[in-house]
Structure 1
């Protein structure tokens, strides 16, 4: 009997220890240990607010000129102060199309374009031989980190399609290389330059909605049709990502703007931790069964990535951000784009504004939305100066409603003037880190994951993003 009582007491004691661990969050290493933060390399410098020496002419090279990359070539070739000096892609036909785009824009600046195609490693030869000032990278995600690192080590500024990288380890490698070489590395989040996003940024900076409490961001975009890209194109490689990885794999389009509304990674607040959950993985498997032969490679995949992922981010100051991702479900496009303050709310899709005491001449209080034609008064009062300057030209040039052109124009403008970029190295790192951190949280049943501090504490020194005129 004594032995039985001892066993019972030990069992109850073990439950107490387990309960205490659950209460304090000590079950997961992610909550008891701070994420790995390597020391800054001797001689390396923090890149927040970094300004590179001005370039009168920006000699641009491109790696990857398929669906997204060709649009970078087309618009950048039109911008004053750009010379296209090199184009690299696996496929000769894509390189030839990009070259033709440059020669047909009548600027006279793109006469000696070096062309590289047919090999996975020729982009390295391009960097060595051409020595461009800036490299624009639009390739499958796994190539982002090695290409950006090599570009900076070759003396070029690197500009990447989203995400910056797919692992925390690679984000650190990019950051260390940028700090060591003193070269920009910007993840090109085009959604930060949308008219609605610029409007909300201006209103937040002016304190129109008071103290900011909460944001909601998303990338909800049904893209199952990309699975038709069986051997070449976006779906030929992304389909494997969506099948094998389970988390929020594409967070930055919604999160980038909301992060800048909140002034994160700058001055007073930053990302702290994240929890994440995914729905069952059903939609792509059913889509494959209906649209492809039963022996097709898409029907032989084991689909593990949930159709919908919902993550919640907590900031250092306790603000919250809901981040959703869904490229599978049949539903209208949305990035949510919501920001809540103590004096009102700004929301997107469709664009809506509600302020505590109403909007003069339109609403009397916060129980009604200002939307549709009534938004003209809001735009007249709070239109972002950058959009006032470039909006008409951007609308003519196109690219997701003009946001692409404004982003590209600003990159070149900053490089030519020797000004800090609108999106710094560390912002791209934090926004991209949501993907691997959400995967870890999902795999551990929603356990909180701490964000590494990619700035090594220096985010407090970085000024608020200025209102660009």
Structure 2
């Protein structure tokens, strides 16, 4: 006798109570079945209007915008850098600019005068350069900074709500802008940055340091060499217990700003560290693109539990009402039929991981711990290999030439900044452009939208407006012929 189906399961969930499969999730709300798709000669689900909400995929009208694909930097003898935000991230990144050849820090901004002055003192003492101009007269003083005429690159490292207005203002004043994660949290704002970049002809990109990690770049090159075969699926995200000291104990300034996002959106807030490197391997925006997304979330319990057990009655967190699920998982299907799983969890006890995997027809890679298994390399015994120095012949030239440098997350921070300055000085195209950045960061608002409609699928916009179909070089490019030293 078949057991009755639980009443709380969605109509297309299996009778075993396991919930909908990945395919079921993507087919929710579909007006066209798989039979019609096969009859039309389509590959997988690509092209099917099988989304519950396709409004998220609509493009705004194009006016004066022209694509920024394949647009190089102008070329600079010296790159003049301004930094907005000198908190946990900005103050850590500042000294990494000092040894990079052809770099000058010309302006600094933070809402705390003492922090700005301390940073300006450090620039003078460590570089011998003129003291940078300083801006600390309230939250809007960054607008005076971006209006200066002695800045080529603005680096934004502020709380997330400021990323969009600061990046837009920088481009409107003729500056390229590198933005910490995410470039924006709302879909309209992401589109606004894409269009502003296209209108101003200034680059805007996500400063995704993990794309420059040694293992991530090694895997990228191995994938480009075909060692994984045809890529099928992958995963990545950000699983990091941030409760102490970051969410509750003052390591971020203003205190609690990141915790507040768990009261504003039920979403995958910050999956890009793991998602972006896998997306690069799959040529997202450079031969493939995200097509549709489904998001699921656990209950929101972890922050309230930590507050109950650790925070005094007068702590401001007692005013918070947490709505964002402790764990968020997104399934993203690409136009070419691959899929990615994006994870986000920062409020429960868990060792750090970016939850990376990449799987193809010839084998796969798994991070944390770093392991690999590829038939193309003779692995046939069903045993993982440690992804260690035995594979250093696949290292990216950035790691063999530049190495970890001055450090920062194992060296990826220095390499990402050094590479940014190199690309700008040599007049090359960016490794990560506004379209890559928009696609990866769109997971934030799209995950929220999917959850709002019962974890049904939503369309992912084509931020490139069709230019994704043309393969373009990115992080896998060979070493430029022009030489730029690794450090001063």
The answer on whether the counterparts of 2:299 and 2:325 sit within 8 Å (CA) in structure 1 is yes
Distance 2:29 2:159 in 1: 40
What is residue 389 of structure 2 aligned with on the other side? Answer: 376
Tell me if 1:39 matches 2:44.
no
Q: Map 1:142-181; keep pairs closer than 5 Å.
A: 142-181=161-200
Distance 1:461 1:57, change over 3 A: same
TM-score w.r.t. length of structure 2: 0.85
8 Å Cα contact 1:62/1:86 also seen in 2: yes
Aligned counterpart, 2:70: 49
Task: Compare 276-285 and 382-391 and name the one that shifted more.
Answer: 382-391
Question: Relative to 1, partners in 2 of residues 1:288 and 1:204: Cα closer, same or farther, differing over 3 Å?
Answer: same
> What is the Cα deviation at residue 290 of structure 1?
1.0
Cα distance in structure 1, aligned partners of 2:211 and 2:376: 28
**Which residue does the alignment assign to 1:301?**
320
Which residue of 2 is the match for residue 436 of structure 1?
Answer: 445
Higher helix share: 1
Residues 175-199 of structure 1 deviation map (CA, whole Å, 9 limit, x = unaligned): 1111111111111000000111011
Q: Where do 5+ consecutive residues of structure 1 fail to align?
A: 1-19
Partner SS for 1:68: helix
Q: Tell whether the 8 Å contact from 2:28 to 2:52 is kept in structure 1 after alignment.
A: no
Structure 1 segment 207-218 matched on structure 2, within 5 A? 207-218=226-237
* Aligned residue number for residue 247 of structure 1: 267
Q: 1:365 aligns with which of 380, 383, 386?
A: 380
Deviations 1:129-170 (A, max 9, x none): 344111011111111111111101111101100101001100
SS at match of 2:121: helix
Equivalent pair of 1:385/1:467 in contact (CA under 8 Å): no
CA contact (8 A) 1:131 1:156 kept: no
Equivalent residues of 2:88, 2:253 under 8 A apart: yes
In structure 2, do the counterparts of structure 1 residues 428 and 357 end up closer, same or farther at CA, with 3 Å as the change threshold?
closer
Distance 1:355 1:461, change over 3 A: closer
For residues 82-97 of structure 1, what are the structure 2 equivalents within 5 Å? 82-97=103-118
The Cα shift of 1:358 comes to: 5.3
Residue 295 of structure 1 and its aligned partner are, at CA, apart by 4.3
Aligned residues of 2:88 and 2:251 also touching (Cα < 8 A): no
Query: If the length of structure 1 is used for normalisation, what is the TM-score?
Result: 0.89
**What SS does the aligned partner of 2:259 have?**
helix
Cα distance, 1:406–1:285 mapped onto 2, change above 3 Å: same
Alpha-carbon distance between aligned partners in 1 of 2:110 and 2:412, rounded to the nearest angstrom: 25
Q: Residue deviations 1:320-348, cap 9 Å, x none?
A: 10111000111111012210000010111
Q: Deviations over 1:386-442 (max 9, x none)?
A: 211111xx2x41100000000000000000000011111101001000011001111
For 2:355 and 2:306, how far apart are their aligned partners in 1?
Answer: 26
Partner Cα distance (2:198, 2:465) in 1: 12
Q: Say yes or no: does 1:260 pair with 2:246.
A: no
2:462 and 2:235 map into 1 onto residues whose CA distance is: 22
Shift of 1:32: 5.0
